[in-house]
Structure 1
Amino acid sequence: MRRTLGRLAEQAWERFDDYDSLFFEGRWHRSQELAGRARRVAGGLAGLGVQPGDRVVVMMANCPEVAITYQALWRAGAAITPVVFLVSPEELRHILLDSGAGIVVTTSEVIPTVRTAADGLGVRIVAVGGTADGVLPYDDLEQADELPLIDRDEQDLAALMYTGGTTGRAKGVMLTHAGLYEASLASREAGSVPGLTRALVPLPLSHAFGLIVTLVGMQSQEARTSVLMRWFDAKEWIRLAAEHRIQLAPLVPAMINLLLAEPSFGATPLPDLRYVTSGAAPLPRESLEEFERRVPGAQILEGYGMTETSAVSVVNRPGARKVGSVGRPLPGYRITIRDEQGGELPAGRDGEICIRSRCLMKGYWRAEEATASAVVDGELRTGDIGHLDEDGHLFIVDRKKDLIIRGGFNVFPRDVEDALMEHPEVTMAGVVGRPDPRSGEEVVAFVSLAPDARVTPDELIAWTRARIGRIKYPREVHVIDAVPVTSVFKTDRKRLRRMLAEPPRPH
């Protein structure tokens, strides 16, 4: 059997009888209703001229139509190009031009962004829940006849996902049917716990983490129910988790920290919550411990991956977690730690994390030089720094490109951020380097504080100095309303560096 995502969706629909499978904004959607809609939308897209191999941009706030559109495009033989709905018109225009997409499927909230980005490009716009001149209602696609499955080769393009661009202009990552199929299957086998079938999903389904969560659900051998949030809100997450007796919840660290900042978190019992998977960015140990203190019986399982590895590569298994690590490699993935000359380093030594797998990207779209730089002899150079322990657990230190070199010594921003996050009045921290004529680079921190916090920047400087020593502690701390994050909830270091040009006045 070919490992294609169109076939995977078809098998998932046929595996179980009709049941309430998806809850969204007050309404249950039944599994066969969603299947029929996807088959008809596939016909509607084909009627618009979508051909096998075409790229179609899907830029939507979370809603049932996101997964329906993905499954419809795979059924029609096309490739999805998911884009987080928070991107700017300029960023979207770059993606449209680079990918060659002729259609954008969107939601009403972002029609203005899409129209600005697509101006003059001849791109057709299809929108859920909104009408505007030149915009085709999504409902019109569902009037078509069901489209028979168009089969594709396993190595054909299934998804063209653009990197977040935190270290440069976004590049298109080419992911194949087989790669995503195998990655989601390995994730299911590593993380599945029989009987745990109720999940709450606030992740953007257009992010690699959200996409792999969707595919893992399609791989499930049990009838699963999902509660989908349009976007994350801490109070609403708590309400939904309690009301639906949620057992599983994928989150990113920024969401976990927002939950911890919500006074009602922990006051509302969540006795059914067993596992929270955390990825996309490092999670401070203090946040993990505080979450588990407030929700007895729940356990956070950190994992690691990137878009280029089909979203996942390393996970902590239920019942076999090692706190502080992101787990062990999934089946089919091999992790090697290398020095700057490419030599393999032993356990315990920090170096660049390199990954070998059949699930790696096919390459960067129309960027052969970038591909050759990132994938060397079949091995992905991640740009992340970490080490393996004797048991094969991976520990992440930081991004190689975020490294601060102060006076000839390496300072990893995460070490400083973790020290700041230990302070009870700090809710989030971001650290960058500022060019300095004496030390080469100086360590600068930005923090957001809890309501009614009284700690001063000088006190935070002293706090970190007592914990991480003279070389690493920040010489400047700026208190801001919110530490900026990217559209995929990673600390936006590019924006922090821009803010240094006109630093906010310390409180």
Structure 2
Amino acid sequence: MQKPWEKYHSPEALTFDKTNIGNQTLAQMCREASRTYGDRPALTTMLPTGAQTTITYAELDALSDQFAGYLREDIGLAAGETVALMSPNCIGFCVASMGIAKAGCINTNVNPLYTAQELEHQLTDGNAKALVIVDLFGDKVDQVVGHTNVKHVVTLSLVDFFPMLKKAFLGFVLKRVRKVVPDISTPHVRMSDALARGRKSIAGKDVAAYAKQVKPSDTALLQYTSGTTGRSKGAELSHSGVLLNAHQGYLMVEDEVKDGAETALIALPLYHITAYVLIFILGMKLGSHAVLAPSPRPPSNLKAAFEKYTITWFTGVNTLFAALLAEPWFDRRMFENLRFCGSGGAAQQTGVALKWQERTGIGINQGYGMTEISGVLTLNPPSDNRFGKVGIPVPGAEIRIVDDDGYEVPLGAPGEVIARSPTLMKGYVNRPDATEEALRDGWLYTGDIGVMDADGFLEIVDRKKDMILVSGFNVSPGEIEDVISTVPGVIQVGVIGIPDDKTGETPVAFVVCVDEGPTEDAILGACREVLTNYKIPRQVRFVDAVPVTLTGKVLRRQLREDYLN
């Protein structure tokens, strides 16, 4: 019996089969892209100033081979060991990522805005043996690596792969004029030197042999995701899961994209699963040209990319779309070649979507997904884009809406969204308890409350458990509470998110203190020492009590009712 949403699926989508994917590993996919697209532009690093540099698919293939050789031959990593990659969007990120896959190693993408403490947790939990880090944040290395198993550090730069003279000039400006590149005392190797060493090491060797024993079911990524009760957890994502999710996304928009003819502006961070799988990996499979923006903030950083390139593919979050609409340089002509515009990571406000469509002539197709599913789970089909909905299940994925006992609820009734897909994670590394809670009988229990209509379109009506969504980033209230609880004089603390015009939501801390306890500045100062900026509460409210369960768990819903209504 055909499901109601399957009327939107193509014949290939209706017969979706995970064995239909020709490229079974990321390494094989990269090599096939080189064979197919060769001298076509693959990646461009676009700086806010308009300075840019580009490499082809053939060059990406060769450079990632060299980096694989460096990892295996020069520093002696073994297949299956973990390499951490901490970088904003740039060519170096992509070269390193594909090199890690070709080396037969596991990649763990790290948010470059992480504090030293957050970085240390991920390096330790993922047992990383090497770290590739952008030089802009290299000072964190000195604070961290001595407490981890990391033995090798590679620094990359936003100006890597620029012509020699331009690279030297831009590097001088960053280091000596703007002074944004700190000194690093920890022994390290620059990416350019690592590639040179790797190039010599692989002479006469079969680089493909490094990953010959890697199976599609083997782990490709340890992708970390915030939990509501504390530190982030590493979801084990397989090669086949990543590639299949990219293909699921493609099947949803195949009429809107063309092989070898797309130019995608990647403003969302590649260390996030959405951009990594659904823009970078899918783009490589399609032979797209990826224009990499290291940071979309301020939005004027994207102006040069829109002016210099014919952008046909653009994905953002609600706050980015809203910010772009307010830019004085925003011009409909920059978007007249867009064929697809997607949104994910946070709720897309209908008002912003309507204004975007009015100004650009193209709708924003909202989707819904999560790290644990390797990316996208539902997406609005371009032929029936419904604002306020997150779309229909992608081909090969199943969704149920269930009550607290696991029984399906009637159409139109709210319940927990549970899902299964061939792209589902294996589990959380080192966290069998969390894995058992999330995965039950092959189904992922998302914790999100949703409603499905008669056509199979899903609407998310409540946030994932207690997660706070700040500009599309998941923020764990438990992590913030852990930090504030260490401040002398704090008795209790509860953190929730409240609406914010600029970021969607913002964390607010409710704190119970002893008499003459810490000030708001003291509490925020403690947060700044260990938390990324977007996790820091924008308000601290001192209260008489924080509602908790008998076991001490913060009752966040009651906290909202007590103090926000």
Normalising by the smaller structure, the TM-score range is 0.7 to 0.9
Higher relative contact order (CA 8 A, sep 6+): 2
Map 1:87-486 → 2, pairs under 5 A: 87-121=114-148, 123=150, 124-129=152-157, 132-133=184-185, 134-143=187-196, 144-145=198-199, 146=202, 148-149=207-208, 150-151=211-212, 152-165=214-227, 167-192=229-254, 193-195=256-258, 197-212=262-277, 213-220=279-286, 223-233=287-297, 234-266=299-331, 269-295=334-360, 297-402=361-466, 417=499, 426-430=501-505
Q: Which amino acid aligns with 2:189?
A: L
Shift of 1:211: 1.1
Match of 1:8 in 2: 29
SS in 2 for 1:102: strand
SS in 2 for 1:364: coil
Give distance in 1, aligned partners of 2:115 and 2:467.
27
Give distance in 2, aligned partners of 1:215 and 1:329.
20
Q: Which runs of 5+ in 2 are unaligned?
A: 1-21, 47-51, 158-180, 469-495, 512-530, 544-565
Shift of 1:400: 4.5
Give distance in 1, aligned partners of 2:503 and 2:225.
24
In structure 2, the CA distance between the partners of 1:428 and 1:370, relative to structure 1 (3 Å rule), is closer
- The answer to whether the 8 Å contact 1:173/1:364 transfers is yes
Give distance in 2, aligned partners of 1:403 and 1:435.
16
Give distance in 2, aligned partners of 1:265 and 1:165.
37
SS in 2 for 1:18: coil
Shift of 1:280: 0.8
Shift of 1:166: 5.6
Q: Which amino acid aligns with 1:94?
A: H
- The answer to whether the 8 Å contact 1:188/1:219 transfers is no
Shift of 1:251: 0.9
Larger deviation, residues 252-261 vs 359-368: 252-261
Q: Which amino acid aligns with 1:214?
A: F
Match of 2:540 in 1: 499
- The answer to whether the 8 Å contact 1:12/1:219 transfers is yes
In structure 2, the CA distance between the partners of 1:164 and 1:109, relative to structure 1 (3 Å rule), is farther
Give distance in 2, aligned partners of 1:167 and 1:254.
26
Pair 1:63 & 2:90 matched: yes
Pair 1:18 & 2:59 matched: no
Q: Deviations over 1:415-435 (max 9, x none)?
A: x84xx8xxxxx5454377888
- The answer to whether the 8 Å contact 2:27/2:98 transfers is yes
Q: Which amino acid aligns with 1:112?
A: D
Shift of 1:270: 2.7
Q: Deviations over 1:478-503 (max 9, x none)?
A: xxxxxxxx97x9x85x735x63349x
Give distance in 1, aligned partners of 2:83 and 2:242.
18
> Once the two structures are aligned, what percentage of the paired residues are identical?
30
Give distance in 1, aligned partners of 2:236 and 2:388.
31
Shift of 1:339: 1.0
Q: Deviations over 1:27-71 (max 9, x none)?
A: 222221121111111101112122111111000122101111111
Bigger proportion of residues as helix: 2
Match of 2:54 in 1: 28
TM-score after normalising by structure 1: 0.79
SS in 1 for 2:95: helix
Pair 1:38 & 2:57 matched: no
Give distance in 1, aligned partners of 2:71 and 2:79.
11
Q: Which amino acid aligns with 2:296?
A: F
Q: Deviations over 1:63-94 (max 9, x none)?
A: 10111111111111101000010011111111
Q: Deviations over 1:369-412 (max 9, x none)?
A: 110001111100101111111011111112242399xxxxxxxx
Pair 1:49 & 2:76 matched: yes
Q: Which amino acid aligns with 2:63?
A: R
- The answer to whether the 8 Å contact 1:43/1:141 transfers is no
Which portions of structure 1, spanning 4 or more consecutive aligned residues, are displaced by more than 3 angstroms?
129-133, 164-167, 266-269, 426-429, 431-436
Q: Which amino acid aligns with 2:221?
A: A
**Paired positions, count:** 431
Q: Which amino acid aligns with 2:318?
A: P
TM-score after normalising by structure 2: 0.71
Larger deviation, residues 147-156 vs 357-366: 147-156
SS in 1 for 2:386: coil
SS in 1 for 2:364: strand
In structure 2, the CA distance between the partners of 1:348 and 1:271, relative to structure 1 (3 Å rule), is same
- The answer to whether the 8 Å contact 2:38/2:56 transfers is no
In structure 2, the CA distance between the partners of 1:361 and 1:226, relative to structure 1 (3 Å rule), is same
Shift of 1:362: 0.1
- The answer to whether the 8 Å contact 1:274/1:299 transfers is no
- The answer to whether the 8 Å contact 1:201/1:228 transfers is yes
SS in 1 for 2:140: helix
- The answer to whether the 8 Å contact 2:257/2:340 transfers is no
Give distance in 2, aligned partners of 1:433 and 1:30.
46
Larger deviation, residues 162-171 vs 183-192: 162-171
Give distance in 1, aligned partners of 2:64 and 2:302.
28
SS in 2 for 1:363: coil
Q: Deviations over 1:327-362 (max 9, x none)?
A: 111111101111112111121111111011121100
Give distance in 2, aligned partners of 1:135 and 1:61.
19
In structure 2, the CA distance between the partners of 1:166 and 1:298, relative to structure 1 (3 Å rule), is farther
Q: Which runs of 5+ in 1 are unaligned?
A: 405-412, 421-425, 437-485, 503-507
Shift of 1:274: 3.2
- The answer to whether the 8 Å contact 1:197/1:224 transfers is yes
- The answer to whether the 8 Å contact 2:450/2:460 transfers is yes
- The answer to whether the 8 Å contact 2:416/2:445 transfers is yes
Match of 2:493 in 1: none
- The answer to whether the 8 Å contact 2:283/2:289 transfers is no
**Pairwise CA RMSD:** 2.7
Shift of 1:268: 6.1
Shift of 1:135: 1.4
Give distance in 2, aligned partners of 1:206 and 1:113.
18
